[in-house]
Structure formats: C-alpha cells, structure tokens
Amino acid sequence: MSSTSMYGAFNKGNKQAELMKKMADAKKQREIEASGDVAPVVQPSEDKKLSDAEVKKMNDMKRFEQLLGSESTTMNYDIDGNNYKTQQQEEEELDATSRGVNRMFEGDPAPSEPFEGLVNMVTGNAMGENGAKRIVPWLKTSSAKQKDYLIVITDPRAKSSELRSTLIRISKGLPADVLSKLVVINADTPAENRRYLKKNGIDNVHMLCDEKREWMREYTVLGENRWSMCLLVLQEKRVEKLVREVDVELATKVIKAATQKL
C-alpha cells in the first residue's frame, strides 16, 4: 500500500472513530435521561397541531434516535437506482446530526415565503405571491398538483463553473417531464443568466435569481464551511430529499435517483 493510500485509510479510520465516539456519548446521555435523572421530553397530544419549529425538533430527535440505533454509521454504494447520496455525503450528514448542526434535514418543513423574493430571470422582477404559486406544488389549486414535487438545484457562487457545467449536462441528460419540475436558483443577475443560457443554447431549464442569497439562507444551503452546489426535492410542504455538495459528474444521476419513486 502506498503512503498516500495508507494516509487516506488512516484519516477515514479516524473519522469513523470520531463518529462512533459521538454516538457512544449520545447513547450514554440517553441512558441517563431514561433513568429519570433528567426530565423526560413531553410529547404533544395527537390532536394538537404542531408548528414548523416543533415538527423540525421532533424530526431531529427521531433522526438521531435512528442514528443511535443503527448497526453501521455509513452505507457503501454508488449513485444508482434509489441511492442518491455518496458515502462521504452520508458520513457528513451523520456527523452534522450528531453535532446538532442548525440546518435543514430531510423531513423538515419547506417554507413557501422565500420563493416570493426570488427574481424572474426574464422580467427581472420578484416572483411575488402569484409567481410562487406557479412553481411551488402545494400552493397550486389542484389537489393532484399539490402532491407533486419540485426539484431545486442551487449554487451560491457567482458564475459558478460547476453549476454551469451541470446546466449543460441536465439540459441534455434529463427527460422533459423531469425538467418541467426543476428550477435552478443561483446568485447571478438575470442578465448574466440570460447571456449564459443563450450562449450555450439552453432553453429548457427554468432559472431564478437569488442575488442576496436570502432563499439559500432560509433553506440552509450556503454551507457551514464552504459554498457548494446542492439539490433539494420539495413535496407536500416538506424537504423530501436533500443532497449537499453535489458532484458535477453525478448531478444527472443524483436527480434521477432522488426522484425515481416520487
């Protein structure tokens, strides 16, 4: 084994060990709470309507319980079929969960209001309430459309080369029915987006502008350490799927896998 591969294996082992330690500490804390030394969490009655914040808190607790009860901290697979996250992405998500990072996770409420501030690339105007109703499934009048889903690709970097490469790939590699449910949100101006799409002959991708990154901030896709491209699938007022740091080479496969059974 080369020194490089040995170093990589050592780092991976260290990361796994850190995750296992966090899980062990959390299990110990859970045992203390179960013994009665800590006041138990009061569960809401079934007839009480939960707020989005309460739903998120309960989802975080359930997710962490699943993490603690799992036999393995990671899954090994390639992006294919229903698998839409890499092992590295799984590990990062587990680590963020164990550290209690304040970010959106799958199953959390998806707010509608941030869509109103997005800017239409063609008109240069904010979407507003009426514009949001045209793209957010659960805001539409038809009950069938409300249960539909919206795919969002987002990148906070100005003139992102990764996003631009992805635009070319998805415009050619995704079927029309999938593209019709997809929007791309970036931080470039409407004029800049129009120029790029025209130059590259892309006319089948719906782009929205978020120059102040307010939508991205609300949906916690700016990243704790660095900016990157993210994928979200929103359905019935919830974040159904969320993939951070999407790889350009895998973007088309990730979208297909994430939406395969929706």
Q: What is the pLDDT along the chain (262 residues), one digit of tens a residue?
A: 444 443 444 444 455 555 555 555 554 554 554 455 444 444 444 445 667 766 666 665 555 555 445 434 344 457 777 789 988 888 888 788 778 788 999 999 999 999 999 999 999 999 999 999 999 999 998 777 778 999 999 999 999 999 999 999 999 999 999 999 999 999 999 999 999 999 999 999 999 999 999 999 999 999 888 999 999 999 999 999 999 999 999 999 999 999 998 8
Domain(s) of CATH 3.40.30.10: residues in the chain: 113-258
| Amino acid at site 207 | M
Classified by CATH at the fold level, domain 113-258 comes out as Glutaredoxin (3.40.30)
Kindly list the strands in the beta sheet with 206-209, ordered across the sheet, starting from the edge strand earlier in the chain: 119-120, 206-209, 182-186, 149-155, 230-235, 238-243
- The pLDDT of residue 91 is 82
For residue 202, give every residue at least 6 positions away whose Cβ sits within 8 Å of its Cβ, in sequence order, or none.
Answer: 167, 168, 171, 196
What is the chain's alpha carbon radius of gyration, rounded to the nearest angstrom? Answer: 20
Distance (Å, whole) CA 120 – CA 177: 21
The distance from CA 217 to its chain's CA centroid, rounded to whole angstroms, is 12
Cβ atoms of 242 and 90 within 8 Å: the answer is no
Compute the distance between CA of residue 205 and CA of residue 167 in angstroms, rounded to an integer.
8
Non-local CB neighbours of 124 within 8 Å, separated by 6+ positions: 190, 191
pLDDT for 239: 97
Using CA atoms, how far residue 174 sits from 166, 171, 196, 235, in Å, is 11, 6, 19, 20
Read off the DSSP letter of residue 83.
B
**Euclidean distance between the first and the last CA atom of the chain, given in angstroms as a whole number:** 44
Pick the closest to residue 228 from 243, 207, 249, 210 (CA basis): 243
What confidence score (pLDDT) does residue 250 get? 94
**Amino acid identity of 22?**
K
Q: Letter for the amino acid at 112?
A: S
Residue 173, C-beta contacts closer than 8 angstroms, at least 6 positions apart? 252
| Residue from 91, 27, 13, 104 nearest 64 by CA | 27
Residue with token string 């740091």: 245
**Three-state SS at 115:** helix
How is residue 208 written in tokens? 């929205």
Give the per-residue pLDDT at 179.
97
